[in-house]
Amino acid sequence: MIQFSIITIFPNMFDTIFQYGIIKKAIQKKIININIFNLRKYSTNKKGTVDDKVYGGGSGMIIMFLPLFKAVQAAKKSLNKKSKVIYLSPQGKLLNYQQIKRFIKKKHLIFICGRYKGIDERFIKSQVDEEWSIGDYILTGGELPAMIFIDTITRSIPGVLNNKQSLHEDSFINGLLDYPNYTRPKKINNFSVPSILLSGNHKKIKQWRLKHAIKNTQLKKPKMLINYKKLNKKNFFQK
Ligand code: SAM
């Protein structure tokens, strides 16, 4: 089981997000577990303050070292498992599929959700194992990135998806984007489902799908195709 601990000043943001679909089932099957830690409970004053002005002047508040430290200690103590502390930050490495495969092997991931202008640098230097970003843009807090991490890690755990939701055909998994997919009806105005997909010839359907996955990748993410060609050097041109 992977344990996820989330440290946040907005615990209620997570109230419903994990109560749906695949994530809900993964929790029910005890494949994952999620614990939310309200950072304000680890404040050093009665008001529950966790932030203060930035040294050197300027606008914005910074989350203080001590509440974060105490919350992380509590998260670690609650499970007594090997933990990895992840700070969700626009300055971190960009999340991608290869990295997610690494995370599914971990026992306990502790996510720090920053807010305001960020968190005290000394906490990052001394307590954070890895800094991760979900994109080159700035959000108001780390809660959405934490949700995204948990969602994508969970669906990548073997056994979480059933055959109908099969993982190995998803974009990125085999180095290509997914092929185009269709469902009923067969015809919408002038747009018909490609006839090969209705033929029942599984070999031909497989070939069609590979061809169109390559075409899709070439069109939408050509850089990905360079790596794919390298990995599949021998038989790429036969496909
Ligand atoms: N001043 C910080 C900087 O420029 O690096 C940005 C602070 S941001 C307004 C507040 C918090 O949102 C961050 O501490 C981080 O936890 C989260 N955050 C914002 N953008 C993010 C991103 N692209 N990926 C992951 N976390 C992000």
**Residue 17 pLDDT more than 70?**
yes
The pLDDT, as a whole number, for residue 239 is 46
Q: Pocket residues for ligand 1 (CB within 6 Å)? A: 88-91, 113-115, 117-119, 133-135, 137-142, 145
Please report, for residues 180, 202, 205, the alpha-carbon distance to residue 216 in angstroms, rounded to integers and kept in the order given.
Answer: 8, 20, 16
CATH (one of 3.40.1280.10, 1.20.58.220, 3.30.450.30, 3.40.50.300) for 2-155: 3.40.1280.10
Task: Work out the pLDDT band at 158, boundaries 50, 70, 90.
Answer: very high
pTM over 0.85: yes
- φ, ψ (nearest 5 deg) of residue 111: -100, 130
pLDDT of residue 63: 98
Distance between CA atoms of residues 103 and 30, nearest Å: 17
Spacing of C-alpha 194 from chain mean position = 33
Nearest-angstrom CA–CA distance, 99 and 206: 28
Q: Is 97 annotated as a binding residue?
A: no
- 8, 41, 50, 72, 117 from 47: Cα distances, Å: 16, 10, 9, 20, 20
Q: Which residue puts its alpha carbon closest to atom 27 of ligand 1?
A: 89
The closest residue, in CA terms, to atom 24 on ligand 1 is 133
User: Cα–Cα distance between 87 and 115 in angstroms, integer?
Assistant: 11
73: amino acid identity, one letter: Q
Q: What percent of the chain has pLDDT over 70?
A: 96
Ligand 1 atom closest to residue 133's alpha carbon, by position in its atom list: 24
d(CA 236, CA 58): 56
**Ligand 1 centroid to residue 76 C-alpha, Å:** 24
169-238: what CATH class? mainly alpha
Q: Would you kindly state where each structural domain of the chain is located, as residue ranges?
A: 2-155, 169-238
Residue 57 in this model has a pLDDT that exceeds 60: yes
